[in-house]
A and B are shown apart, each in its own frame.
Chain A
Amino acid sequence: MIDFAKPDIEYGLLWPLLLIFAIACLGVVVEAFLPRGRRLLAQLALSLVGCVAALVGVVMVGLDLSDHGAARGSIVAEGALAVDGPTVFVWGLLLVITVCGLLLFAERRLEGGVSAFAGQAAALPGTDAERVASSKGLDHTEVYPLMMFAVAGMMIFAAANDLLTLFVGLEVLSLPLYLLSGLARRRRLLSQEAALKYFLLGAFSSGFVIYGIALVYGYAGVMDFAGINDAIANETGSRTMLLIGMGMISVGLLFKVGAVPFQSWTPDVYQGAPTQVTAFMAAATKIAAFAAMMRLFYVAFGSERWTWEPMLWVIAVLSMVIGAVMAVAQSDIKRMLAYSSITHTGFLITGLVGIHSADGLADGQITATQSVLFYLVTYGFMTVGAFAVVTLVRDAGGEATHLSRWTGLGKESPVVAGVFALFLLGFAGIPLTAGFAGKWAVFASAMSAGAWPVVVIAVLTSAMAAFFYIRVIVLMYFYEPVGDGPSVTLPSFLTATAIGIGALATVVLGVVPGPLLDLAAHAGEFIR
């Protein structure tokens, strides 16, 4: 007979996460009961206030984390979640990115008084129903609760401390994103196709994750990360099962971060999805998935390091090289940024193969966790900013994403071209931008673990990547506009704020990276 004991839930540590879930559920209720005209403002206010409150909560939780060996924090909710330094860091970062994403979602001036999302997703493209929907100025305000659900899923994913929670977090973050990708107002066929591809491939990869989880559970007999690590250290069962299981879970996580060879969805989805959604998901999904990946590899599979390390070496090199080579050949700005994000995944994995425990390092060396967390911040802000700029360059058919339409943008609008050039230089890793500090951090981390072949290739790919970033800058400044030339629509303060935050972070983190690096170091290790 099993006695049921009431589970202990540490509400004091988990309330930022629970608050975001509550906001998402409340958003659904608002959608059901409020008249159409008042929904937008209510949803936006609800989500923004919720995010800011949760952000305050994350800071409060972060300030009084208790010491726990080399790590800080504690394992909560009966072992399902871990609220430690890296979790709090990632939660804070995710919420700031979400606020930027909300500002982009709410932008209504670019489309002339409506949002970038389909007026009525159920109305077929090119039919009377769609024309009626757009002439009435209808809008889908469901995007806000969907986004909040995705954020809640990401927060779980980053904090997951057992395999089941990892899987649930993965699904809760993915399902809303599949829907958001298909809701574009313009070019709806592309958007729906992106949603279909993202959904089918995403579901396929999550099938691999759950089968891998079953195998690892079969090997270790437990679901929680620390228990798996103990089982590996004691060599309890069949190693074949462990290795296959580990490989299958890695497939799913590497799919989510868009690493080669699981990258094929990235360019299609980034191009087809509404640009506001791309901005949010390119930054936030990668942040959450890297946090989950680090926790899984360091905490659960820490004793098995010599198995997964060579695999990640290969994947890092492939992602960097293939991402950079393919990006050179692109003629669409969103696709080019998608391939560039694959390259950045490679750089992040380069940081991930570093040594994650400060014990194994000399003074002044940088841990893998610290370098990856820092890189995620720089990458997140630059990505949101760059995609936000893409929403501004438009012609009669919506966003003008073909590179030829960007020719001579420097003459048309020096400010927009200048900000975009700043983001591109940041991506390329030019000194005095955030990208340089980030690249330095991940390379230093990989060097300390003896991964010098990866670092050499990473440096060479950086040079190759700089070529296609600078090609766009040359196109914007040194060529005469073709035909009418590109036109820049002035955004409202919402998009302007999001771009401003991105640009500010790119410059500030490039000039004074020290405080943030210290904060990332202060986050400490993953708790076990």
Chain B
Amino acid sequence: MNTEPYILLSAILFTIGCVGVLVRRNAIVVFMCVELMLNASNLALVTFAKANGNLDGQIAAFFVMVVAAAEVVVGLAIIMTIFRTRRSASVDDASLLKY
């Protein structure tokens, strides 16, 4: 099986996520872009597991899913709190701490 297209796709997804984190303003969207990066990594892990002929990568993908779920719990809690306080989830508005 030719695994190259899958790796290419995962690299594209990772880049989209990465650029999204850097350019988007809304904390929720930034966070979704981070999730996209994690899922791109999952695709890469599973593809490499297939290419290498062992299961390590597939097992790792499960762990990444669990970690992503835990991150959602913590992340949404933090974003919710700051949204309720400021009535805004924009990462540009949170600018009290600088220099």
Which residue numbers of A lie inside 8 Å of B, CB to CB?
121-122, 124-125, 163-164, 167-168, 171, 175, 178-179, 182, 188-190, 192-197, 199-200, 203-204, 206-208, 210-211, 213-215, 217-218, 221-223, 267-268, 271-272, 329
- Given contacts A217-B56, A221-B52, are A211 and B97 in contact (CB under 8 A)? no
- Given contacts A178-B78, A211-B44, are A192 and B85 in contact (CB under 8 A)? yes
Please determine whether A203 and B81 come into contact, CB atoms closer than 8 angstroms.
Answer: no
**Can you show 30 pairs from A to B with CB atoms below 8 A apart?**
A124-B85, A167-B60, A178-B78, A179-B77, A179-B78, A182-B81, A190-B96, A192-B78, A192-B81, A192-B94, A194-B97, A196-B79, A200-B27, A203-B31, A207-B37, A211-B14, A211-B44, A213-B41, A214-B10, A214-B48, A217-B45, A217-B48, A217-B52, A217-B57, A218-B47, A218-B51, A221-B48, A222-B56, A268-B98, A272-B97
Please determine whether A178 and B27 come into contact, CB atoms closer than 8 angstroms.
Answer: no
Please determine whether A271 and B97 come into contact, CB atoms closer than 8 angstroms.
Answer: yes
Please determine whether A188 and B85 come into contact, CB atoms closer than 8 angstroms.
Answer: yes
Q: Which residues of A contact B77 (CB under 8 A)?
A: 179
CA distance A223 to B70 in the complex (A): 23
- Given contacts A193-B96, A210-B64, A211-B14, are A200 and B57 in contact (CB under 8 A)? no
Query: Which residue of B has the minimal Cβ distance to A125?
Result: B85
Q: Which residues of A contact B57 (CB under 8 A)?
A: 214, 217
| Interfacial residues of chain B within 37-63, with CB under 8 A of chain A in the complex | 37-38, 40-41, 44-45, 47-48, 51-52, 54, 56-57, 59-60, 63
CA distance A316 to B47 in the complex (A): 36
Please determine whether A218 and B81 come into contact, CB atoms closer than 8 angstroms.
Answer: no
Query: Which residue of A has the minimal Cβ distance to B72?
Result: A203
CA distance A425 to B21 in the complex (A): 41
CA distance A163 to B64 in the complex (A): 12
Distance in Å: Cβ of B10 to nearest Cβ of chain A: 8
Distance in Å: Cβ of A393 to nearest Cβ of chain B: 20
Query: Which residue of A has the minimal Cβ distance to B54?
Result: A221
Please determine whether B71 and A171 come into contact, CB atoms closer than 8 angstroms.
Answer: yes
What number of B residues sit within 8 Å (CB to CB) of A? Answer: 47
Most chain B CB inside 10 Å of its own CB: which residue of A168, A188, A208, A214: A214
Please determine whether A207 and B17 come into contact, CB atoms closer than 8 angstroms.
Answer: yes
Q: Which residues of A contact B59 (CB under 8 A)?
A: 164
Which residue numbers of B lie inside 8 Å of A, CB to CB?
7, 10, 14, 17-18, 21, 27, 30-31, 34, 37-38, 40-41, 44-45, 47-48, 51-52, 54, 56-57, 59-60, 63-64, 67, 70-71, 74-75, 77-79, 81-82, 84-86, 91, 94-99
- Given contacts A188-B85, A207-B38, are A200 and B70 in contact (CB under 8 A)? no
Query: Which residue of A has the minimal Cβ distance to B75?
Result: A199
- Shortest Cβ-Cβ A-B pairs, 6 listed: A207-B37, A218-B48, A214-B44, A221-B52, A268-B97, A210-B41
The 8 Å CB contact of B71, one of A122, A125, A175, A272, is: A175
Distance in Å: Cβ of B67 to nearest Cβ of chain A: 5
Q: Which residues of A contact B56 (CB under 8 A)?
A: 164, 217, 222-223
- Given contacts A164-B59, A223-B60, are A207 and B81 in contact (CB under 8 A)? no
CA distance A199 to B21 in the complex (A): 13
Q: Which residues of B contact A163 (CB under 8 A)?
A: 60
Apart from A182-B81, A193-B82: 17 A-B pairs, beta carbons within 8 A: A168-B63, A189-B96, A192-B81, A196-B79, A197-B94, A199-B74, A200-B30, A200-B31, A203-B71, A207-B14, A210-B37, A211-B37, A211-B44, A213-B45, A213-B60, A218-B7, A222-B54
Distance in Å: Cβ of A468 to nearest Cβ of chain B: 15
Please determine whether A203 and B34 come into contact, CB atoms closer than 8 angstroms.
Answer: yes
Q: Which residues of B contact A124 (CB under 8 A)?
A: 84-85
Please determine whether A204 and B34 come into contact, CB atoms closer than 8 angstroms.
Answer: yes
Please determine whether A168 and B67 come into contact, CB atoms closer than 8 angstroms.
Answer: yes
Q: Which residues of A contact B54 (CB under 8 A)?
A: 221-222
Q: Which residues of B contact A188 (CB under 8 A)?
A: 85
Q: Which residues of A contact B81 (CB under 8 A)?
A: 121-122, 182, 192, 195
Q: Which residues of A contact B7 (CB under 8 A)?
A: 218
Query: Which residue of B has the minimal Cβ distance to A121?
Result: B81
CA distance A125 to B85 in the complex (A): 7
Please determine whether B75 and A214 come into contact, CB atoms closer than 8 angstroms.
Answer: no
Distance in Å: Cβ of A119 to nearest Cβ of chain B: 14
Q: Which residues of B contact A211 (CB under 8 A)?
A: 14, 37, 40-41, 44
The 8 Å CB contact of A171, one of B10, B40, B70, B79, is: B70
Distance in Å: Cβ of A4 to nearest Cβ of chain B: 12
CA distance A211 to B59 in the complex (A): 15
Please determine whether B85 and A164 come into contact, CB atoms closer than 8 angstroms.
Answer: no
Most chain A CB inside 10 Å of its own CB: which residue of B31, B38, B78, B85: B78
Query: Which residue of A has the minimal Cβ distance to B44?
Result: A214
CA distance A207 to B77 in the complex (A): 20
